[in-house]
Every structure is written in structure tokens, then in C-alpha cells.
Amino acid sequence: MSIDPASDHHVSDLHAQQVDFLVIGAGIAGLSAAIRLARTGSVLVVTKENLAESNTAYAQGGIAVAMGGDEDVSLHYEDTLAAGDGLVNPEAARVLVEQGPQRVQELLDWGTAFDREDGQLMRTREGAHSRSRILHANGDATGREIAVSLLRHVREIPSIRLMEWTTGIDLIVEAGRVTGATLLDGEGGILAVRARATLLASGGAGQVYSDTTNPAVATGDGIAMAYRAGAAISDMEFYQFHPTAFSQPQAPRFLMSEALRGEGAYLVNAHGERFMQRYHPLLELAPRDVVARAITHESMDGPVYLDMRHVKKDLHARFPGISQFLAKYRLELNRDLIPVRPAAHYLMGGILTDVHGRTTLPGLYAAGEAACTGVHGANRLASNSLLEGLVFGALAADAMIADSSRLPSIERTATTSIPVSEGATSDANTERWIEDLRSNMWKYAGLLRDANGLETMQRTLHALAATMPQGLTRRAIEARNLHTIASIITASALARHESRGAHYRNDYPQHDTVARHSIMRNGQLIFTESLEPSFA
């Protein structure tokens, strides 16, 4: 189902616009795509808040890229495969590491100010990388620097229009093809935008969990819209929990970047002991899923801390954003133990696409965290996410241009309509409903899972569906989307009877002998060894 057919409010009755290309999301994937799309047509980029508010802007550690030649590219490929725990799509990984240097060079050409020393780009190392290949900017503000650079370039292109404070409601599907979307603007008005091709670059869904490093905008809107329209969704059980989010009562789960461990931070338990040697030979730089579970285990005896007191560097200069945050709590990296715990961070699954961003629905494309090419497998390699947005955003744009030029025109006679309910749920009740969902997802479908908990979560979701917030407000739309995301995660996690990467089942702690992807479409869940279904 894409849009409720029972409503009396048809798209043809709404305020409508026509563009060549509609891009939902203004992070690194969406803006990268928009720049290329603008070469051949008009582009509308919509974002739910202001243009600076995206997961891209919150990325601290850096962007992983192999700029040292063929050997470096080959090692980056091997590291990506290893981190993904047997489930990485090799084609997607190859595309990522081989095209990454060219895309990063474009950022440099557009004025992105990565940190340098004596004129040379500085590189650091993060978990599960075999060498230092992480570029960073302003110490720990890499994502924000890239976002600013892309926005500056986008604003210089007349054929790109930017629309802030605009929430996607649903996709418009006509004659089996996606022809745009209905949107809610910042003043509560409803807009129908038709386009030759539509790109969902709307980011992840960390807000489905009560503990997350993600900003408030990360409610899985694009994935939920695509699912309701009938697109295939893949590998949603693989949610990466970042090992080191700030952990104090009443404080946000602020990300303590993996780059801290790359610069030498230790993890110590409540007794002041380093413990990672008991879990992995790479110690603090082990893959994220391993570190997150180790911290969870050690925290049974008390708090776990990051310890950088031994690091002889000016950490305030190296990590100015983190240092500024910690100062609010009278903590300093060079002086104090920093309390940490895992938090939901990154979704490896999403809308199933090929390496060119094509989904299983004609006219619909996806890129970035909202998409699933299989490039991350069961566990994303640190700092591959920004590179993913750059590479696959550009590839999706190229496919959108090529495909839309060949598609026949569509008779626009469908009676597609928007969801309208009799009465809107109050803001307070909507917030309580959302918090109930998020806290239960953290408890029953979080870092450590089992059948009892996942079945309890399914019953909880069934009960929550009966009291779904009503009305066309942003939070009611987000509530509906979070319920969709939670339902797919829970069903996929319950059906996967193994532990792999970020998905850990206490009742099935071993790998299956065969690595398989999950695919959910129209309520049906299947498992397959390769992500090569029939793409439209």
C-alpha cells in the first residue's frame, strides 16, 4: 500500500508541482545526486528541517578513502569485506572503494577543507581498518564540513531548488511506476510533486530506539514510504550500535567518535582494567559489533569508560567538538575517564537497490543510509558511510538520468490519495506513543536479542497499531513510519536464526553455514544468498 485509497483528498485536488527530479533528503547522498541531476533537468531537494540538520552533519570521525593507489584500494576492499561478516555484496564493495577517490577529489575541488599537516592531507585509523586512511575536517566535524561544502556548491546551481521543513507523506504510484510524492510543508500544507524520477536519500532510522546517536530527523521516513509503495526492503535486522556513546543520566547519547580509539584511547571497566584483549586481537580497534557487545558485557559490573589520560596530544585541538560537549559536564579527554555505552547508530539495511540506486519499483531510486546495496553486509566498516553517500548518490543520479530518458510518459489518471483521518491525536499523546515504541525496541529488539523478546516486541507493535497517532502532522507521520521500521526490524530479526555482525541472538549465538540476506516486500519475508532480484 502506498497511500490510503479511502481518502476523499486526491492528488489531483492538491497544490501540485512538476520537476524533472525529486530528491528527498539533503545529506551527502541527496546533495551529491542533485549536483549531477542538475546537468540535465530541474531538481527539487526537500529536507525535513533546515538544510544543516542531517546524519551527514553529525558524522565526526571522517571519511574512509583509499587514495594511495591500487594496493590501498585493494586493502580497503578487503577490510570492508571482513567487517561485513560474510554478508557484503562484493560488487558494491568494489564500486565503493574504486570510485571513492574520484568522488573525494571532487569534494576537494569544491573546497572541502580536510585537515592537513605541512600541506598534506592528514589520515587517521579507525576500527577494523588495516591502515590509516580516514580523512577528517576540523578535528571531529568532518560531516559538517562536507555538508557545508556541498551546500555551497548546490546553491550556485540555478536548476536546483531547496525546500526546508518539508516532510514526505507517501510516494505517488501510477500504473506501477513511482511518479513523485506527497509532502507536508512547514505550515501544514500538502503538496504533490510529480517527477520523472524520485530519489530517496532520507537517511537512517536511529530514532526507532530510545538510545541513539542520531538526530531527531532520523525516523526512517524514506524506507517506510518505499515499503508502503511496494518496494523491497533488505537486511533491516542489521542495526549497528556504536560502542561509545556518552553515558550519563539525563545527558544525550552524544557520539564519542571511533577516532578517539584510533588516537589511542583505551576502554576500561569499573575496576580500571582494560578488557578488550579478552574479546578480540584488535583490542579497542576491533569491529564495532564486537566492541559494543564487549562493553555491554563489562557494564554488568559497573560503568565502562574511555581513557585517554595517557595520550600525549592536545586532544582539545584534535577533537574540539567532543571537547566542547564534555566541558558541559566538567570533563576533559586528557584528564578524566569518559563514561560510555552503546547506542543505535547506523542501519546497514534499507531499500533494496542495485549499485546504481535502482529499487524494485520503476521511477524510484535510493542512496545513502536509506538504501541497501549490501555494501556494508552485516556490520559497516568505520567511516565508510560518508563515502557510500558520495559514491552511490552519484551513481543513482546517473541511472535516474539514463532511465527517465527512456521511459514512456504516464497517463496521470490514477486516483491516488493522501491519508486523512477524522481527528488528530494530541501532541502529548503522540509523544507518549513514540516513546513507548522506542523504549520497547531498545529493550526487546536492541543489541542483544532472543525469541522471547522479539515475540514480545511483535505483540507490543500489534497493540501500538491499534492506537496509532492520527492526523497529518509531522510527528504523526513519523510515528507511522517508526512503526513500519520497527515492525520490519523485529520480523527480520526473529526470522534470522543465527548471530552475524550487528545482529546477535542469545539463543542462536553461532553463524549459519550459509550467509543470506533478508528481503521484505508486501508483508512477505524471504532469505536469499545474493542481492540480485529482478530490478525494474
Residues with catalytic annotation?
A: 288
User: With contact defined as beta carbons under 8 Å apart, do 87 and 167 qualify?
Assistant: no
- Residue 144, H or E segment: helix 142-154
Secondary structure (3-state) at 435? helix
Would you state the cell numbers that stand for residue 20, as one nine-digit string? 524533472
Are residues 484 and 220 in contact, defined by beta-carbon separation less than 8 angstroms? yes
In three-state secondary structure terms, 276 is helix
Question: Which residue, 401, 330, 317, is CA-closest to 365?
Answer: 401
3-state DSSP call for residue 83? helix
Query: Can you tell me the distance from the alpha carbon of 440 to that of 446, in angstroms, rounded to the nearest whole number?
Result: 9
The four Cα atoms 438, 227, 344, 490 give a dihedral, to 10 degrees, of 60
Secondary structure of 85-97 in the HEC alphabet? CCCCCHHHHHHHH
Relative orientation angle of helices 70-83 and 90-109, to the nearest 10 degrees: 130
Residue-wise over 248-266: b if at least 16 C-beta within 10 A, else e?
A: eeeeebbbbbbbbbbbebb
Gap between the Cα atoms of 259 and 322, Å rounded: 11
